[in-house]
């Protein structure tokens, strides 16, 4: 269940960064990762849900983690800004993900 969710997150981040690298789909080789990883992300998210993960937990973690990892990945791959304020936001996302998971166990 958790491994599938991690795979869904990494697939979505990979596709999103590939979308940026494609420069509006003008660089055709980057279309292949888009066609592979976006659908894979949804398949793996579905696997997590089918395994019994609550939709609020799965989607919350998937979306929040995706935002944070995409910001970091864009910094590394494209030199996008990653300011202190943005890093604080990423830390808040991390805390939020933990709170969602802790809340789901009760």
- pLDDT over 70 at 106, yes or no: no
CA 75, CA 6: separation in Å to the nearest integer?
21
- pLDDT over 70 at 86, yes or no: yes
- pLDDT over 80 at 104, yes or no: no
Specify whether the CB–CB gap between 30 and 38 falls below 8 A: no
The reported pLDDT for the residue numbered 28 is: 87
- Supply the mean pLDDT for the chain: 93
The reported pLDDT for the residue numbered 66 is: 94
Residue 57 or 18, more confident: 18
CA 62, CA 6: separation in Å to the nearest integer?
8
- State the pLDDT confidence band at 100, using cuts at 50, 70 and 90: confident
Provide the residue ranges of all domains of the chain, joining segments of one domain with +: 2-104
What are 23-48's pLDDT values in tens digits?
A: 888 898 998 999 999 999 999 999 99
Specify whether the CB–CB gap between 21 and 77 falls below 8 A: yes
- pLDDT over 80 at 105, yes or no: no
Enter the pTM of the model.
Answer: 0.89
């Amino acid at each position: 269940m958790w491994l599938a969710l991690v795979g869904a997150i990494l697939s979505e981040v990979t596709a999103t960064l590939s979308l940026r690298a494609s420069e509006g789909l003008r660089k055709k080789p980057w279309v292949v990762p888009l066609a592979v990883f976006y659908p894979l992300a949804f398949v793996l998210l579905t696997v997590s849900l089918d395994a019994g993960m609550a939709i609020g937990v799965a989607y919350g973690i998937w979306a929040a983690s995706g935002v944070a990892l995409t910001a970091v990945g864009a910094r590394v791959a494209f030199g996008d800004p990653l300011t202190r304020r943005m890093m604080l936001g990423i830390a808040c996302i991390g805390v939020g993900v933990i709170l969602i998971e802790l809340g789901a166990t009760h």
